[in-house]
Chains A and B, each alone.
Chain A
Protein backbone atom coordinates (compact mmCIF):
# COMPACT_ATOMS: atom_id res chain seq x y z
CA UNK A 1 0.00 0.00 0.00
CA UNK A 2 2.83 2.34 0.99
CA UNK A 3 4.78 1.48 -2.16
CA UNK A 4 1.76 2.29 -4.28
CA UNK A 5 1.39 5.65 -2.53
CA UNK A 6 5.08 6.47 -3.08
CA UNK A 7 4.87 5.57 -6.72
CA UNK A 8 1.87 7.82 -7.12
CA UNK A 9 3.71 10.70 -5.48
CA UNK A 10 6.69 10.14 -7.77
CA UNK A 11 4.42 10.08 -10.80
CA UNK A 12 2.76 13.31 -9.73
CA UNK A 13 6.11 15.02 -9.17
CA UNK A 14 7.45 13.95 -12.54
CA UNK A 15 4.49 15.46 -14.39
CA UNK A 16 4.90 18.89 -15.94
CA UNK A 17 3.21 21.50 -13.77
CA UNK A 18 3.93 19.73 -10.50
CA UNK A 19 5.68 21.75 -7.77
CA UNK A 20 9.22 20.41 -7.30
CA UNK A 21 10.62 23.06 -4.94
CA UNK A 22 8.50 25.04 -2.51
CA UNK A 23 9.58 27.68 0.01
CA UNK A 24 6.98 28.76 2.55
CA UNK A 25 7.84 31.76 4.72
CA UNK A 26 11.48 30.76 5.10
CA UNK A 27 13.70 32.83 7.36
CA UNK A 28 17.39 32.65 8.20
CA UNK A 29 19.71 34.82 10.25
CA UNK A 30 23.36 34.56 11.21
CA UNK A 31 23.56 36.03 14.72
CA UNK A 32 22.08 39.53 14.36
CA UNK A 33 22.21 39.64 10.55
CA UNK A 34 18.99 38.65 8.82
CA UNK A 35 19.88 36.85 5.58
CA UNK A 36 16.43 35.73 4.40
CA UNK A 37 13.09 37.04 5.57
CA UNK A 38 9.70 35.57 4.74
CA UNK A 39 10.79 33.94 1.48
CA UNK A 40 8.03 32.04 -0.34
CA UNK A 41 8.05 30.73 -3.90
CA UNK A 42 7.33 27.60 -5.90
CA UNK A 43 9.32 26.05 -8.73
CA UNK A 44 7.17 24.15 -11.19
CA UNK A 45 8.47 21.02 -12.90
CA UNK A 46 10.23 21.86 -16.18
CA UNK A 47 10.22 25.59 -15.43
CA UNK A 48 13.05 28.00 -14.61
CA UNK A 49 13.18 30.28 -11.61
CA UNK A 50 15.70 33.09 -12.01
CA UNK A 51 16.76 34.70 -8.76
CA UNK A 52 18.23 38.17 -9.20
CA UNK A 53 19.78 40.43 -6.64
CA UNK A 54 22.89 42.29 -5.63
CA UNK A 55 25.86 40.48 -4.10
CA UNK A 56 25.12 39.52 -0.50
CA UNK A 57 21.36 39.78 -0.93
CA UNK A 58 20.81 36.13 0.05
CA UNK A 59 20.42 34.50 -3.39
CA UNK A 60 23.00 31.74 -2.96
CA UNK A 61 21.70 31.05 0.55
CA UNK A 62 18.41 29.91 -1.00
CA UNK A 63 20.26 27.25 -3.03
CA UNK A 64 22.17 26.12 0.06
CA UNK A 65 18.89 25.67 1.93
CA UNK A 66 17.42 23.63 -0.95
CA UNK A 67 20.44 21.32 -0.98
CA UNK A 68 20.54 21.07 2.82
CA UNK A 69 23.96 22.73 3.12
CA UNK A 70 22.27 25.28 5.38
CA UNK A 71 19.18 24.89 7.53
CA UNK A 72 16.47 27.56 7.71
CA UNK A 73 15.58 29.02 11.11
CA UNK A 74 11.87 29.21 10.27
CA UNK A 75 9.50 28.17 7.51
CA UNK A 76 8.97 25.06 5.45
CA UNK A 77 11.01 23.82 2.46
CA UNK A 78 9.79 21.05 0.17
CA UNK A 79 12.00 19.46 -2.47
CA UNK A 80 10.61 16.71 -4.68
CA UNK A 81 7.84 15.99 -2.20
CA UNK A 82 10.19 15.77 0.81
CA UNK A 83 10.13 18.31 3.61
CA UNK A 84 13.87 18.99 3.78
CA UNK A 85 14.03 21.63 6.52
CA UNK A 86 13.86 18.91 9.19
CA UNK A 87 15.95 16.18 7.56
CA UNK A 88 19.25 14.98 8.99
CA UNK A 89 22.41 15.01 6.84
CA UNK A 90 22.02 11.28 6.26
CA UNK A 91 18.35 11.58 5.22
CA UNK A 92 19.24 14.53 2.98
CA UNK A 93 21.48 12.28 0.86
CA UNK A 94 18.39 10.65 -0.70
CA UNK A 95 16.95 14.06 -1.66
CA UNK A 96 20.30 15.13 -3.16
CA UNK A 97 20.18 12.12 -5.48
CA UNK A 98 17.80 14.15 -7.64
CA UNK A 99 19.53 17.51 -7.23
CA UNK A 100 22.45 18.88 -9.20
CA UNK A 101 24.25 22.09 -8.31
CA UNK A 102 26.66 24.24 -10.27
CA UNK A 103 28.76 26.26 -7.85
CA UNK A 104 30.36 29.66 -8.28
CA UNK A 105 33.80 29.06 -9.84
CA UNK A 106 32.77 25.46 -10.58
CA UNK A 107 34.03 23.84 -7.34
CA UNK A 108 35.71 21.09 -9.37
CA UNK A 109 37.83 18.61 -7.44
CA UNK A 110 41.30 19.85 -8.32
CA UNK A 111 43.06 16.54 -7.69
CA UNK A 112 40.80 14.67 -10.14
CA UNK A 113 40.76 14.71 -13.95
CA UNK A 114 37.81 16.06 -15.92
CA UNK A 115 36.57 12.49 -16.43
CA UNK A 116 36.80 11.70 -12.71
CA UNK A 117 35.08 14.97 -11.82
CA UNK A 118 32.19 14.47 -14.21
CA UNK A 119 31.72 10.82 -13.32
CA UNK A 120 32.36 11.30 -9.60
CA UNK A 121 28.88 10.35 -8.45
CA UNK A 122 28.63 7.45 -10.90
CA UNK A 123 32.04 6.02 -9.94
CA UNK A 124 31.89 6.66 -6.19
CA UNK A 125 28.27 6.71 -5.15
CA UNK A 126 26.48 4.33 -7.49
CA UNK A 127 26.66 0.68 -8.45
CA UNK A 128 26.84 1.54 -12.14
CA UNK A 129 29.41 -0.61 -14.03
CA UNK A 130 32.58 1.33 -14.93
CA UNK A 131 32.07 0.90 -18.69
CA UNK A 132 28.55 2.28 -18.45
CA UNK A 133 29.71 5.19 -16.28
CA UNK A 134 32.53 5.96 -18.75
CA UNK A 135 29.98 6.01 -21.56
CA UNK A 136 27.73 8.42 -19.66
CA UNK A 137 30.71 10.68 -18.86
CA UNK A 138 31.68 10.85 -22.53
CA UNK A 139 28.04 11.52 -23.45
CA UNK A 140 27.67 14.50 -21.09
CA UNK A 141 31.09 15.88 -21.94
CA UNK A 142 30.12 15.69 -25.60
CA UNK A 143 26.88 17.51 -24.70
CA UNK A 144 28.80 20.46 -23.24
CA UNK A 145 31.33 20.35 -26.08
CA UNK A 146 34.31 19.14 -24.05
CA UNK A 147 34.56 15.57 -25.29
CA UNK A 148 38.30 15.90 -25.93
CA UNK A 149 39.16 17.16 -22.45
CA UNK A 150 38.54 13.98 -20.44
CA UNK A 151 42.11 13.54 -19.22
CA UNK A 152 42.85 17.18 -18.47
CA UNK A 153 43.13 18.48 -14.90
CA UNK A 154 40.81 21.34 -13.83
CA UNK A 155 43.82 23.67 -13.56
CA UNK A 156 44.40 23.24 -17.30
CA UNK A 157 40.92 24.54 -18.20
CA UNK A 158 39.70 28.07 -18.85
CA UNK A 159 37.01 29.64 -16.66
CA UNK A 160 34.25 28.85 -19.16
CA UNK A 161 35.42 25.27 -19.59
CA UNK A 162 35.43 24.78 -15.82
CA UNK A 163 31.80 25.94 -15.60
CA UNK A 164 30.82 23.61 -18.44
CA UNK A 165 32.58 20.68 -16.74
CA UNK A 166 30.70 21.64 -13.58
CA UNK A 167 27.42 21.52 -15.52
CA UNK A 168 28.43 18.14 -16.98
CA UNK A 169 29.20 16.85 -13.48
CA UNK A 170 25.83 18.04 -12.19
CA UNK A 171 23.89 16.49 -15.08
CA UNK A 172 25.82 13.20 -15.33
CA UNK A 173 23.49 11.36 -12.95
CA UNK A 174 20.37 12.82 -14.63
CA UNK A 175 18.88 14.87 -11.77
CA UNK A 176 15.46 16.41 -12.30
CA UNK A 177 16.42 19.68 -10.63
CA UNK A 178 19.52 21.76 -11.38
CA UNK A 179 20.63 24.73 -9.32
CA UNK A 180 22.99 27.27 -10.89
CA UNK A 181 24.88 29.53 -8.48
CA UNK A 182 26.32 32.45 -10.45
CA UNK A 183 27.26 30.07 -13.27
CA UNK A 184 28.28 32.88 -15.62
CA UNK A 185 29.84 35.37 -13.21
CA UNK A 186 33.34 36.39 -14.25
CA UNK A 187 33.02 34.99 -17.77
CA UNK A 188 33.28 37.01 -20.97
CA UNK A 189 29.96 37.51 -22.83
CA UNK A 190 30.69 34.90 -25.51
CA UNK A 191 31.65 32.19 -23.01
CA UNK A 192 28.73 33.19 -20.77
CA UNK A 193 26.38 32.66 -23.72
CA UNK A 194 27.67 29.10 -24.22
CA UNK A 195 26.92 28.40 -20.54
CA UNK A 196 23.45 30.00 -20.91
CA UNK A 197 22.78 27.77 -23.89
CA UNK A 198 23.65 24.67 -21.84
CA UNK A 199 21.11 25.80 -19.23
CA UNK A 200 18.46 26.29 -21.94
CA UNK A 201 19.22 22.94 -23.60
CA UNK A 202 18.99 21.05 -20.31
CA UNK A 203 15.68 22.70 -19.50
CA UNK A 204 14.04 22.27 -22.90
CA UNK A 205 15.51 19.01 -24.15
CA UNK A 206 16.11 17.12 -20.90
CA UNK A 207 13.11 18.69 -19.07
CA UNK A 208 15.21 19.64 -16.08
CA UNK A 209 13.66 22.10 -13.64
CA UNK A 210 16.15 24.82 -12.81
CA UNK A 211 16.85 27.64 -10.42
CA UNK A 212 19.33 30.16 -11.78
CA UNK A 213 20.92 32.52 -9.27
CA UNK A 214 22.70 35.43 -10.90
CA UNK A 215 23.25 39.15 -10.89
CA UNK A 216 24.10 39.12 -14.60
CA UNK A 217 20.97 40.60 -16.21
CA UNK A 218 22.08 39.81 -19.73
CA UNK A 219 22.35 36.10 -18.94
CA UNK A 220 19.14 36.06 -16.92
CA UNK A 221 17.11 37.52 -19.81
CA UNK A 222 18.88 35.32 -22.36
CA UNK A 223 17.87 32.17 -20.47
CA UNK A 224 14.32 33.47 -19.97
CA UNK A 225 13.71 34.59 -23.54
CA UNK A 226 15.27 31.76 -25.53
CA UNK A 227 14.43 28.12 -26.05
CA UNK A 228 16.18 25.08 -27.49
CA UNK A 229 14.65 23.11 -30.36
CA UNK A 230 15.90 19.96 -32.00
CA UNK A 231 15.41 19.93 -35.75
CA UNK A 232 14.41 16.91 -37.84
CA UNK A 233 18.12 16.41 -38.60
CA UNK A 234 18.84 16.16 -34.87
CA UNK A 235 20.65 19.49 -34.74
CA UNK A 236 19.85 21.60 -31.68
CA UNK A 237 19.37 25.32 -32.17
CA UNK A 238 18.67 28.13 -29.73
CA UNK A 239 15.83 30.37 -30.88
CA UNK A 240 13.75 33.19 -29.30
CA UNK A 241 11.16 31.69 -26.97
CA UNK A 242 7.47 31.65 -27.74
CA UNK A 243 5.33 33.81 -25.37
CA UNK A 244 4.11 30.63 -23.62
CA UNK A 245 7.67 29.38 -23.15
CA UNK A 246 8.79 32.78 -21.91
CA UNK A 247 6.17 32.63 -19.17
CA UNK A 248 7.75 29.38 -17.89
CA UNK A 249 10.76 31.39 -16.73
CA UNK A 250 9.88 33.40 -13.66
CA UNK A 251 12.03 36.05 -12.05
CA UNK A 252 12.47 36.69 -8.34
CA UNK A 253 14.24 39.86 -7.26
CA UNK A 254 15.75 39.80 -3.78
CA UNK A 255 16.79 42.88 -1.85
CA UNK A 256 18.44 42.41 1.55
CA UNK A 257 16.89 38.98 2.01
CA UNK A 258 13.36 40.01 1.05
CA UNK A 259 11.53 39.25 -2.22
CA UNK A 260 10.68 42.58 -3.86
CA UNK A 261 9.47 41.21 -7.20
CA UNK A 262 8.13 37.97 -8.63
CA UNK A 263 6.94 37.59 -12.22
CA UNK A 264 7.97 36.91 -15.81
CA UNK A 265 10.50 38.79 -17.96
CA UNK A 266 7.86 41.09 -19.39
CA UNK A 267 6.52 42.08 -15.96
CA UNK A 268 10.08 42.69 -14.75
CA UNK A 269 10.77 45.04 -17.64
CA UNK A 270 7.54 46.96 -16.93
CA UNK A 271 8.14 47.25 -13.16
CA UNK A 272 8.22 50.79 -11.75
CA UNK A 273 9.86 49.75 -8.46
CA UNK A 274 12.80 52.14 -7.88
CA UNK A 275 15.17 49.35 -6.74
CA UNK A 276 14.34 47.22 -9.78
CA UNK A 277 14.71 50.21 -12.10
CA UNK A 278 18.15 50.89 -10.60
CA UNK A 279 19.09 47.23 -10.92
CA UNK A 280 17.94 47.04 -14.55
CA UNK A 281 19.54 50.31 -15.61
Chain B
Protein backbone atom coordinates (compact mmCIF):
# COMPACT_ATOMS: atom_id res chain seq x y z
CA UNK B 1 0.00 0.00 0.00
CA UNK B 2 2.79 2.41 1.01
CA UNK B 3 5.29 1.26 -1.62
CA UNK B 4 3.09 2.12 -4.65
CA UNK B 5 2.39 5.53 -3.10
CA UNK B 6 6.11 6.23 -2.71
CA UNK B 7 6.73 4.88 -6.23
CA UNK B 8 4.05 7.18 -7.70
CA UNK B 9 5.41 10.16 -5.77
CA UNK B 10 8.95 9.42 -6.97
CA UNK B 11 7.77 9.07 -10.57
CA UNK B 12 5.84 12.33 -10.33
CA UNK B 13 8.82 14.15 -8.82
CA UNK B 14 11.18 12.76 -11.49
CA UNK B 15 8.76 13.87 -14.21
CA UNK B 16 8.55 17.38 -12.76
CA UNK B 17 12.35 17.65 -12.64
CA UNK B 18 12.62 16.32 -16.20
CA UNK B 19 10.05 18.82 -17.49
CA UNK B 20 11.72 21.67 -15.58
CA UNK B 21 15.11 20.83 -17.07
CA UNK B 22 13.56 20.64 -20.56
CA UNK B 23 11.91 24.03 -20.09
CA UNK B 24 15.13 25.62 -18.83
CA UNK B 25 17.14 24.14 -21.72
CA UNK B 26 14.59 25.34 -24.31
CA UNK B 27 14.47 28.80 -22.71
CA UNK B 28 18.26 29.16 -22.62
CA UNK B 29 18.44 28.07 -26.28
CA UNK B 30 15.68 30.62 -26.98
CA UNK B 31 17.73 33.41 -25.40
CA UNK B 32 20.62 32.85 -27.80
CA UNK B 33 18.75 31.98 -31.02
CA UNK B 34 16.10 33.61 -33.22
CA UNK B 35 13.23 34.37 -33.34
CA UNK B 36 13.05 36.76 -30.40
CA UNK B 37 10.05 38.88 -29.49
CA UNK B 38 11.58 42.29 -28.74
CA UNK B 39 8.49 44.13 -27.55
CA UNK B 40 7.59 41.27 -25.18
CA UNK B 41 11.10 41.46 -23.70
CA UNK B 42 10.79 45.22 -23.16
CA UNK B 43 7.30 44.77 -21.68
CA UNK B 44 8.56 42.18 -19.20
CA UNK B 45 11.45 44.41 -18.13
CA UNK B 46 8.81 47.01 -17.31
CA UNK B 47 6.44 44.55 -15.57
CA UNK B 48 9.10 42.70 -13.56
CA UNK B 49 11.61 45.52 -13.08
CA UNK B 50 9.77 48.82 -12.86
CA UNK B 51 6.59 47.17 -11.56
CA UNK B 52 8.41 45.66 -8.58
CA UNK B 53 10.19 48.85 -7.60
CA UNK B 54 7.67 50.04 -4.98
CA UNK B 55 7.53 46.78 -3.06
CA UNK B 56 11.32 46.42 -3.16
CA UNK B 57 11.86 50.01 -1.99
CA UNK B 58 9.48 49.61 0.93
CA UNK B 59 10.84 46.21 1.95
CA UNK B 60 14.46 47.34 1.74
CA UNK B 61 13.85 50.58 3.65
CA UNK B 62 11.97 49.06 6.56
CA UNK B 63 14.32 46.08 6.81
CA UNK B 64 17.31 48.41 7.13
CA UNK B 65 15.47 50.58 9.63
CA UNK B 66 14.37 47.62 11.78
CA UNK B 67 17.86 46.16 11.60
CA UNK B 68 19.30 49.45 12.94
CA UNK B 69 16.83 49.48 15.84
CA UNK B 70 17.55 45.86 16.80
CA UNK B 71 21.30 45.95 16.36
CA UNK B 72 21.49 49.31 18.18
CA UNK B 73 20.00 47.63 21.26
CA UNK B 74 22.36 44.67 21.06
CA UNK B 75 25.46 46.72 20.32
CA UNK B 76 24.71 49.00 23.29
CA UNK B 77 25.44 46.04 25.58
CA UNK B 78 29.04 46.11 24.30
CA UNK B 79 29.28 49.86 23.88
CA UNK B 80 29.43 49.38 20.15
CA UNK B 81 26.56 51.55 18.96
CA UNK B 82 28.89 53.47 16.65
CA UNK B 83 29.50 50.42 14.44
CA UNK B 84 25.83 49.85 13.66
CA UNK B 85 26.48 50.94 10.05
CA UNK B 86 28.91 48.04 9.57
CA UNK B 87 26.31 45.53 10.64
CA UNK B 88 23.60 47.00 8.46
CA UNK B 89 25.71 47.24 5.30
CA UNK B 90 27.17 43.75 5.69
CA UNK B 91 23.75 42.21 6.43
CA UNK B 92 21.91 44.05 3.66
CA UNK B 93 24.46 43.61 0.89
CA UNK B 94 25.52 40.03 1.57
CA UNK B 95 22.26 38.42 2.65
CA UNK B 96 19.11 40.38 3.41
CA UNK B 97 19.06 42.47 0.24
CA UNK B 98 19.33 39.55 -2.20
CA UNK B 99 17.07 37.18 -0.25
CA UNK B 100 14.32 39.64 0.69
CA UNK B 101 14.23 41.11 -2.82
CA UNK B 102 14.01 37.59 -4.24
CA UNK B 103 11.21 36.68 -1.84
CA UNK B 104 9.30 39.84 -2.78
CA UNK B 105 9.80 39.01 -6.45
CA UNK B 106 8.53 35.48 -5.83
CA UNK B 107 5.37 36.85 -4.25
CA UNK B 108 4.74 39.50 -6.82
CA UNK B 109 6.27 38.25 -10.07
CA UNK B 110 6.25 34.47 -9.54
CA UNK B 111 2.57 34.41 -8.64
CA UNK B 112 1.72 36.70 -11.57
CA UNK B 113 3.62 34.58 -14.07
CA UNK B 114 2.06 31.33 -12.83
CA UNK B 115 -1.46 32.82 -12.87
CA UNK B 116 -1.05 34.37 -16.33
CA UNK B 117 0.49 31.33 -17.99
CA UNK B 118 -1.87 29.00 -16.13
CA UNK B 119 -4.90 30.93 -17.40
CA UNK B 120 -3.50 30.80 -20.91
CA UNK B 121 -3.10 27.02 -20.64
CA UNK B 122 -6.60 26.30 -19.35
CA UNK B 123 -8.26 28.59 -21.92
CA UNK B 124 -6.32 27.00 -24.82
CA UNK B 125 -4.41 30.23 -25.55
CA UNK B 126 -1.09 28.35 -25.41
CA UNK B 127 -2.40 25.82 -27.94
CA UNK B 128 -3.69 28.71 -30.07
CA UNK B 129 -0.20 30.22 -30.03
CA UNK B 130 1.32 26.94 -31.19
CA UNK B 131 -1.22 26.52 -33.98
CA UNK B 132 -0.50 30.11 -35.09
CA UNK B 133 3.16 29.16 -35.46
CA UNK B 134 4.56 30.65 -32.25
CA UNK B 135 6.78 28.75 -29.84
CA UNK B 136 5.32 29.58 -26.38
CA UNK B 137 8.74 29.20 -24.77
CA UNK B 138 10.24 31.90 -26.99
CA UNK B 139 7.20 34.16 -26.77
CA UNK B 140 6.37 33.82 -23.07
CA UNK B 141 9.24 32.26 -21.13
CA UNK B 142 12.31 33.88 -22.73
CA UNK B 143 11.17 37.51 -22.14
CA UNK B 144 10.32 36.73 -18.50
CA UNK B 145 13.57 34.85 -18.00
CA UNK B 146 15.66 37.72 -19.37
CA UNK B 147 13.76 40.29 -17.32
CA UNK B 148 13.94 38.23 -14.09
CA UNK B 149 17.62 37.37 -14.57
CA UNK B 150 18.73 40.94 -15.31
CA UNK B 151 16.33 42.97 -13.17
CA UNK B 152 16.73 41.00 -9.92
CA UNK B 153 20.33 42.31 -9.41
CA UNK B 154 19.24 45.87 -10.23
CA UNK B 155 16.37 45.69 -7.75
CA UNK B 156 18.65 44.14 -5.15
CA UNK B 157 21.16 46.98 -5.44
CA UNK B 158 18.31 49.48 -5.01
CA UNK B 159 17.02 47.51 -2.03
CA UNK B 160 20.50 47.44 -0.46
CA UNK B 161 20.82 51.19 -0.88
CA UNK B 162 17.44 52.12 0.61
CA UNK B 163 18.02 49.60 3.42
CA UNK B 164 21.25 51.33 4.36
CA UNK B 165 19.42 54.65 4.03
CA UNK B 166 16.69 53.40 6.40
CA UNK B 167 19.40 52.34 8.82
CA UNK B 168 20.97 55.79 8.57
CA UNK B 169 17.69 57.54 9.44
CA UNK B 170 17.18 55.37 12.53
CA UNK B 171 20.84 55.66 13.52
CA UNK B 172 20.82 59.47 13.29
CA UNK B 173 17.38 60.26 14.73
CA UNK B 174 16.82 57.35 17.12
CA UNK B 175 20.27 56.10 18.11
CA UNK B 176 21.81 59.61 18.02
CA UNK B 177 24.82 58.56 15.94
CA UNK B 178 26.35 61.22 13.72
CA UNK B 179 25.99 60.86 9.95
CA UNK B 180 29.74 60.86 9.39
CA UNK B 181 30.32 57.99 11.79
CA UNK B 182 27.47 55.99 10.27
CA UNK B 183 28.62 56.32 6.67
CA UNK B 184 32.27 55.64 7.41
CA UNK B 185 31.21 52.60 9.40
CA UNK B 186 29.07 51.39 6.46
CA UNK B 187 32.08 51.19 4.14
CA UNK B 188 34.59 49.94 6.73
CA UNK B 189 33.26 46.42 7.01
CA UNK B 190 32.73 45.87 3.29
CA UNK B 191 35.19 43.88 1.22
CA UNK B 192 35.04 43.57 -2.58
CA UNK B 193 34.04 39.91 -2.17
CA UNK B 194 30.97 40.96 -0.17
CA UNK B 195 29.86 43.25 -2.96
CA UNK B 196 30.42 40.55 -5.56
CA UNK B 197 28.43 38.08 -3.48
CA UNK B 198 25.58 40.58 -3.22
CA UNK B 199 25.57 41.07 -6.98
CA UNK B 200 26.04 37.47 -8.15
CA UNK B 201 23.36 35.92 -5.94
CA UNK B 202 20.39 37.87 -7.37
CA UNK B 203 21.23 36.70 -10.91
CA UNK B 204 20.83 33.09 -9.79
CA UNK B 205 17.77 33.81 -7.64
CA UNK B 206 16.04 35.79 -10.44
CA UNK B 207 16.62 32.88 -12.80
CA UNK B 208 15.23 30.37 -10.29
CA UNK B 209 12.11 32.47 -9.49
CA UNK B 210 11.11 32.99 -13.12
CA UNK B 211 11.85 29.48 -14.41
CA UNK B 212 10.00 27.90 -11.46
CA UNK B 213 6.96 30.12 -12.01
CA UNK B 214 6.94 29.50 -15.78
CA UNK B 215 7.26 25.75 -15.25
CA UNK B 216 4.40 25.65 -12.75
CA UNK B 217 2.22 27.94 -14.91
CA UNK B 218 2.71 25.98 -18.11
CA UNK B 219 1.87 22.69 -16.37
CA UNK B 220 -1.45 23.97 -15.00
CA UNK B 221 -4.42 21.64 -15.31
CA UNK B 222 -7.98 21.73 -14.02
CA UNK B 223 -9.55 25.05 -14.98
CA UNK B 224 -9.73 28.09 -12.71
CA UNK B 225 -9.19 25.95 -9.60
CA UNK B 226 -6.00 24.69 -11.20
CA UNK B 227 -4.86 28.28 -11.85
CA UNK B 228 -5.32 29.10 -8.16
CA UNK B 229 -3.37 26.01 -7.14
CA UNK B 230 -0.60 26.78 -9.64
CA UNK B 231 -0.25 30.29 -8.21
CA UNK B 232 0.07 28.92 -4.67
CA UNK B 233 2.55 26.25 -5.76
CA UNK B 234 4.64 28.83 -7.64
CA UNK B 235 4.92 31.08 -4.58
CA UNK B 236 5.61 28.25 -2.11
CA UNK B 237 8.08 26.43 -4.35
CA UNK B 238 9.73 29.67 -5.40
CA UNK B 239 10.14 30.89 -1.81
CA UNK B 240 11.63 27.60 -0.60
CA UNK B 241 13.86 27.47 -3.68
CA UNK B 242 15.10 31.01 -3.01
CA UNK B 243 16.13 30.16 0.56
CA UNK B 244 17.69 26.83 -0.42
CA UNK B 245 19.49 28.13 -3.51
CA UNK B 246 20.74 31.12 -1.52
CA UNK B 247 22.39 28.74 0.95
CA UNK B 248 24.14 26.71 -1.73
CA UNK B 249 25.22 29.74 -3.77
CA UNK B 250 26.55 31.39 -0.59
CA UNK B 251 28.51 28.23 0.23
CA UNK B 252 29.97 28.05 -3.29
CA UNK B 253 30.86 31.75 -3.36
CA UNK B 254 32.52 31.64 0.07
CA UNK B 255 34.59 28.66 -1.07
CA UNK B 256 35.49 30.41 -4.32
CA UNK B 257 36.15 33.98 -3.17
CA UNK B 258 37.20 34.08 0.47
Binding site for B on A (CB under 8 A): 64, 67-69, 89-90, 93, 96-97, 99-101, 103-105, 107-110, 120-121, 124-125, 169
Asked whether B125 is an interface residue with its Cβ less than 8 Å from the other chain, the reply is: yes
A104–B130 Cα distance when bound, in Å, is: 15
A6–B125 Cα distance when bound, in Å, is: 33
A125–B132 Cα distance when bound, in Å, is: 8
Q: How far is the CB of A133 from chain B (nearest CB, A)?
A: 14
B125-136 interface bits toward A, Cβ cutoff 8 Å, 1 = contact, 0 = none: 101111111110
Asked whether B124 is an interface residue with its Cβ less than 8 Å from the other chain, the reply is: yes
Are A96 and B130 in contact (CB-based, < 8 A)? yes
Q: How far is the CB of B237 from chain A (nearest CB, A)?
A: 25
Q: How far is the CB of B184 from chain A (nearest CB, A)?
A: 50
Asked whether B174 is an interface residue with its Cβ less than 8 Å from the other chain, the reply is: no
- The interface residues of chain A, by DSSP majority, are classed as mixed
Compute the total of residue contacts between A and B using a CB distance below 8 Å: 52
| Candidates B123, B127, B139; contact of A69 at CB < 8 Å | B127
Most chain A C-beta atoms within 10 Å of own C-beta, residue among B130, B131, B133, B139? B131
Sample (26) of A-B pairs whose CB atoms are under 8 Å apart: A67-B130, A67-B131, A68-B130, A69-B130, A69-B131, A89-B130, A90-B135, A96-B130, A96-B131, A96-B132, A96-B133, A101-B128, A101-B131, A103-B128, A105-B123, A105-B124, A107-B127, A107-B128, A109-B129, A110-B119, A110-B123, A120-B132, A121-B132, A124-B37, A124-B139, A125-B134
CB within 8 Å of A: which B90-143 residues? 119, 123-125, 127-135, 139
Q: How far is the CB of A184 from chain B (nearest CB, A)?
A: 16
Most chain B C-beta atoms within 10 Å of own C-beta, residue among A104, A120, A169? A120
A185–B125 Cα distance when bound, in Å, is: 18
A89–B133 Cα distance when bound, in Å, is: 10
| Candidates A107, A121, A169; contact of B133 at CB < 8 Å | A121
Q: A-B pairs with the 6 shortest C-beta distances?
A: A107-B124, A107-B128, A103-B124, A125-B133, A101-B131, A121-B132
Q: Which residue of A lies closest to B139 (CB)?
A: A124
Taking CB atoms, residues of chain A closer than 8 Å to B132 are 96, 120-121, 124-125, 169
